[in-house]
């Protein structure tokens, strides 16, 4: 015969674990989906984008070719990633970016890629993707992530899923 204390204990554990699993975000899955989706881009395997028709002002294939060539010439290219929450609580974004320092004050960005992931169900799904190589799009992306890095939202993400510092701006400040 099972005692009342044991039943009460198991009921309490069930409630705790079910509420924990419903509210806990699996950052490993978000990271894995983002990394898998951007793996070819990160490695310079960009041919699949050659005939794409991106929204005006977002990215150009020519700029991606420059990145691919730069991978061979510049071992100092910094490739980083981080996860950030969205304004919509059902979405998180995996961000991947590549840049290099060109001089003491300037940086050359090659791209920023964003994979928006819906975490509302048991199976996380990619909802939208964005790719930026053009200056205005990169500036807009950077201003957004600057806000993320300098708010408390940044501290909500486990450290292993956040690039250690806010990436530098893709423009020089005058």
Lowest mean pLDDT among 50-59, 134-143, 152-161: 152-161
Residues contacting 108, CB < 8 A, separation 6+ = 99, 100, 101, 102
Handedness of CA 132, 138, 144, 149 (dihedral sign): positive
Q: pLDDT tens digits, residue range 21-60?
A: 445 899 999 999 999 999 999 999 999 999 999 999 999 9
| CA–CA separation, 132 and 44 (whole Å) | 15
173: pLDDT confidence band, cut at 50, 70 and 90?
low
Average pLDDT of the residues in 85-94: 95
Closest CA to 78 of 54, 98, 61, 53: 98
Q: How confident is the model at residue 85 (pLDDT cuts 50, 70, 90)?
A: very high
Question: How many percent of the chain have pLDDT more than 90?
Answer: 77
| Per-residue pLDDT, 17 | 39
Q: What pLDDT, on the 0 to 100 scale, is given for residue 54? A: 96
The alpha carbon of residue 64 and the mean position of all alpha carbons in its chain are separated, in whole angstroms, by 18
Lowest mean pLDDT among 18-22, 34-38, 103-107: 18-22
């Amino acid at each position: 015969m099972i005692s009342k204390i044991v039943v009460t204990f198991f009921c309490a554990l069930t409630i705790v674990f079910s509420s924990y699993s419903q509210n806990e975000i699996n950052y490993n899955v978000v990271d894995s989906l983002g990394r898998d989706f951007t793996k070819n881009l990160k490695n310079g395997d960009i041919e699949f984008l050659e005939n794409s028709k991106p929204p005006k002002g977002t990215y150009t294939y020519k700029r991606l070719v420059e990145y691919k060539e730069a991978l061979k010439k510049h071992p100092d290219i910094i490739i980083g990633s981080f996860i950030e929450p969205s304004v919509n609580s059902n979405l998180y974004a995996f961000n991947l970016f590549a840049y290099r320092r060109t001089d003491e004050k300037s940086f050359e960005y090659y791209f920023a890629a964003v994979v928006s992931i819906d975490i509302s169900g048991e199976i996380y799904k990619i909802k939208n993707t964005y790719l930026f190589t053009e200056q205005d799009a990169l500036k807009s992306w950077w201003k957004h992530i600057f806000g993320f890095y300098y708010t408390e939202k940044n501290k909500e993400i486990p450290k292993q899923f956040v690039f250690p510092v806010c990436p530098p701006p893709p423009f020089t400040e005058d």
